[in-house]
Amino acid sequence: MNAEELRKDFPILSERINGHRLVYLDNAATSQKPRQVIEAIVRYYEHDNSNVHRGVHTLGSRATEAYESARERVARFIRARSPQEVVFTRGTTESLNMIAHGYARAKLREGDEIVLPPSEHHSNLIPWQQAARATGATLRYLPLQPDGTIRLEDVEAAVTDRTRIVAIAHVSNVLGTVNPVREIAEIAHRHGAIVVVDGAQSVPHMPTDVVAMDCDFLAFSGHKMLGPTGIGVLYGKAERLAEMEPTYFGGEMIDVVDLYESTWKEAPWKFEGGTPIIAGAIGLAAAMDYLEQVGMEHIERHDAALAAKAVERLAEIDGVTIFGPPPGQSRAGLVTFNLGRVHPHDLATVLDSRGVAIRAGHHCAQPLMRLFNVPATARASFYLYNTEEDVDALVDAVLEAKEFFGHAIG
């Protein structure tokens, strides 16, 4: 793949920020959008806009075909067995909450356990807190190694016959660690537990095969993978979706409605009450077309190579602390770091003055920040349109910040 050529497809990358070219390194928060995705959404609104499923006129048929074709596209992208295992949602957060409310609350009992790492994004932690509180279940946390990795022997020790759910991110949004979800699923299933995978940071960056992974549920967002905001996916094995109750009720998801009781359609439509996110689904399908044209294997190697270079270069700067796997060890396409006693918000502000956009804060992972005894961190995250020149710009900007904050580095 040629990142320089790909950059031409992304209009926003031509922006000038504070007199500098834009170096966009906040891809773990959201990605930029290529013209192909923007044009697919515009084309829908200009030529096919209608509500889906219920209309018999031409526009209704076109919109329905485009929407359901998008579901088929998603199923192929994640290698699901059937499009009926794909539910459109507003994003990863909504998908995980739907599992916690529609599946877990009906299954959990007092004394049951939910196993998860303390490094999870709040969206894969708070819903389980609430489910445990409502049912009497208990949260059990996996220990982390100093570099944030998880040992399978610790998973073996934590998962027991009392475990009902194991919830885990495939890739940590803070540390860039890639968790062995296939092996974790094997351990969980051996004890009769299900596995919920947060794929927000993995599905955009590496090939995904839910059958090989053997997860029971997978959640991810469109906006992190070149798609529009407001669209996400909940994948569930057919048997799990059949067991799961809807969390939204109203139009479209119903089968028969009487005055005192109602019945629902089968999955996935029973989970998509009301007018769905039609344009978002169409945009997501276009994004997946673009990503597969480039090649997910190429993207995975490209992103990891940039992150490895950034870790190596940043680690050479006195005062920089790298979180997660150290230089030379495998990580996904992001690096989280701090510069001495400089608050990450101040560091990010200085970098922005040089046109370099990074994320600063607790990254929706406050328990992990407490484990590392820091209030916040800075994070640079890479994608298919980033280049080695972007890594150089990041390092140069950090060096300028070090000089600017001099007294706070030691």
Residue identified by tokens 């994070």 is 379
Whether 359 has a pLDDT exceeding 80, the answer reads yes
What tokens appear for 168 in the block? Answer: 């885990």
Give how far Cα 148 sits from Cα of 68, 97, 243, 325, Å: 40, 25, 34, 7
Architecture of the domain made up of 3-25+296-407: Alpha-Beta Complex (3.90)
Is the alpha carbon torsion for 306, 308, 311, 316 positive or negative?
Answer: negative
Ranges of each domain in the chain = 3-25+296-407, 49-293
Q: How many CB atoms lie within 10 A of CB 133?
A: 10
The CATH number assigned to the domain with range 49-293 reads 3.40.640.10
Phi-psi region of 294 (alpha: psi -120 to 50; beta: other; left: phi over 0): alpha
pLDDT score, position 304? 97
pLDDT score, position 328? 85
Cis peptide bond upstream of 375, omega within 30: no
Residue identified by tokens 């005062």 is 319
Name the residue among 41, 47, 43, 72 with its Cα closest to residue 59.
47
pLDDT score, position 134? 97
What Rg, from alpha-carbon coordinates, does the chain have?
22
Whether 410 has a pLDDT exceeding 80, the answer reads no
Name the residue among 228, 229, 231, 207 with its Cα closest to residue 219.
231
pLDDT-derived band at 1 (thresholds 50, 70, 90) equals confident
pLDDT score, position 330? 87
Active-site residue numbers? 364
pLDDT score, position 407? 66
pLDDT, tens digit, for every residue of 57-68?
A: 999 999 999 999
Name the residue among 117, 82, 134, 143 with its Cα closest to residue 196.
117
Residue 85: phi and psi, rounded to 5, are -95, 5
**Average pLDDT over every residue of 201-215:** 98
pLDDT, tens digit, for every residue of 128-187?
A: 999 999 999 999 999 999 999 999 999 999 999 999 999 999 999 999 999 999 999 999
pLDDT, tens digit, for every residue of 228-244?
A: 999 999 999 999 999 99
Name the pTM for this structure.
Answer: 0.97
- Which amino acid makes up residue 109? R
**Average pLDDT over every residue of 244-270:** 94
pLDDT score, position 408? 66
Distance in angstroms (rounded) separating the CA atoms of residues 78 and 207: 8
pLDDT score, position 55? 80
Q: What is the length of the chain?
A: 410
